[in-house]
A and B are shown apart, each in its own frame.
Chain A
Amino acid sequence: MDDISIDVGDELDLMDWVPDKDMVASLMSLSGWLSNFGDEKDDNEESNDSPMSGPNRFTDIKSAQDEGFRGLIVPGNYGMMAMESAVKQWIPSSNIKKLDCVFRQPLMQGDQVQVGGVVTDRVEELDKVILELDLYIMRDDGQRPQGGTAIVEIGSI
């Protein structure tokens, strides 16, 4: 389908996504969250650990279970990244201008989910098309732990 012909009611191609331990570790490292994890310190050295540098619900199963989760969870905003990837894969020429997401339930590391969405509004301007999309992450049981809306621009028409 031609990108600029996308219209209200069109649905994103569903994207399978497994947010696994490696992905979480990779993105946490990029944030600097794991950069000093495990560094040895002298007894009198002040800690300059990042907020997530110690055992936590994303990297340590006991910490996750102590907080009431059945396993390691995925940082909420990583789901937004999957939503953006799904949009870019479906509409390569698009630019996301705004993405607003609600994290209703935690995503568990290793669980396969699907990322989908539907176009809910379309505005044609002089040199671009602006789409509004409802986006979601869906588990096998049909529950949607994350949902959001995106404003997407498609370039010159």
Chain B
Amino acid sequence: MPETGDLTYNKEMLNVEQPNGSITITKDHIQTYCDATGHPISQDESGRIEVPVNMLNVFFNRSVQVGSDVKLEGASVGLNAGRSIEVFDQVFEGDTLDRSAIFKEVYTKTGRSGTMAFEVWEILFKNDNGELVARATDSMVYRAPGKPGK
């Protein structure tokens, strides 16, 4: 079993909401997304182009001023372990959304591949009125590297 050691992280940043920029979603963005994924382009009754829910995942970004600094000794590989996205209001072409990021949780699990650390972040997307329109929750896992070529 690969050896991993102590888990350290920046405890002060737990549950602190930090702004991390805004995005304006254009028709070109939606077209590129739909071309790449096969998602059909949808419009509402007034002809506004709807932003596919998971397109917001493309704009998931947890680059913040003060990071979580999660480190598990010996765990040099970081992988996305899961993601959840919840939408509270439809987003349309031309909408500008403010993003913020919150370091929510860190914990370890030990399995066949050794001890792994899981780091959970939440990204909030808010509209011009400051209303929450979507929330994405992301889990990263850090582990020791596997054998090459698998």
Contact = CB atoms under 8 A, between A and B. Distances in A.
B48 interface: no
A81 B57 contact: yes
Contact of B80 (A23, A81, A103): A103
A65 B146 CA distance: 10
Interface residues of B, number: 38
A31 B38 CA distance: 18
A113 to B, nearest CB: 13
Contacts of B138: 77
B82 A103 contact: yes
Which of B40, B54, B79, B80 has most A Cβ within 10 Å? B54
Which of A22, A26, A80 has most B Cβ within 10 Å? A80
Contact of B145 (A67, A80, A102): A67
A80 B83 contact: yes
Contact of A68 (B54, B55, B77): B77
Interface in A56-94: 65-70, 75-78, 80-85, 88-89, 92
Contacts of B54: 77, 80-81, 83-84, 96, 99
A101 B138 CA distance: 10
Contact of B79 (A29, A66, A81, A103): A103
A55 to B, nearest CB: 15
A23 to B, nearest CB: 5
Given A76-B79, A85-B37, A98 B87 contact: yes
Contacts of A96: 53-54, 87
A30 B36 CA distance: 10
A135 to B, nearest CB: 12
Interface of A: 15, 17, 22-23, 26-27, 29-31, 51, 65-70, 75-78, 80-85, 88-89, 92, 95-103, 106
Interface of B: 29, 32-33, 35-40, 42, 52-55, 57-61, 63, 77, 79-87, 90, 138, 145-150
